[in-house]
Amino acid sequence: MGPARDRVVSRMDSARFDTVMASADPSMVIVTVAVDDERSGCLVGFHGQTSIEPLRYGVWISKANHTYGPALEASHLAIHHLAADDIELARLFGTETGDEVDKFARCRWESGPHGVPLLADCSTWMVGRWVAVLDAKGDHACVVVEPVEIEASETFEPLRLSKVVDLEPGHQAEGRG
């Protein structure tokens, strides 16, 4: 091994971890799902491509979030990639909880492929078929989907975590195990 791998790494420090994660400044997405007559959706910062062949995409959903249960039951999910000016959608889906509010009554949406709610004001989205869930025993679980339909606008500047970090979540991450 080269010198970089031989050096001693400092003990785990959550503040250092937070610094590294903040520097990554991930893009934000909204996940929407429908099971029977129930619609749900939430703001997600942990997400990404999980496989090239076959194509797979994963979204980490808080177990405390109203959307978590329906996301485990649904056959399909929609993942909406937010543009920098989609702050009001982020605020709605990030600060309100479906336990108390019908978020879809407060925004424009339509029923998409497989009955998944699609946000009318979000031009870049994918609908994916539920493939697997990874529960690493933390406060979030990863739902992996196989993309089956996608709509992509021209290249856009994504809404980043640094622009929504001040939003007060509808649920704290802890709450369900």
Q: Where are the beta strands (DSSP E) in the chain?
A: 29-35, 38-44, 47-51, 56-62, 76-81, 109-111, 117-119, 125-134, 140-151
pLDDT at residue 176 tops 80? no
Cβ neighbours of 5 (radius 10 Å): 7
Q: What is the pLDDT of residue 7?
A: 53
Reported as a single tens digit per residue, the pLDDT across 48-75 is 999 999 999 999 999 999 999 999 999 9
Residue numbers of the domain that contains 36: 15-44+67-128+147-159
- Each residue's pLDDT tens digit, 154-173: 788 999 998 998 888 776 65
Q: Does a structural domain hold residue 164?
A: no
Q: Which of the four pLDDT bands, split at 50, 70 and 90, describes residue 103? A: very high
Query: Does 134 fall in a domain?
Result: no
Domain harbouring 33, CATH code:
2.30.110.10
Average pLDDT over residues 87-111: 93
The residue length of the chain stands at 177
Residue 135 belongs to some domain of the structure: no
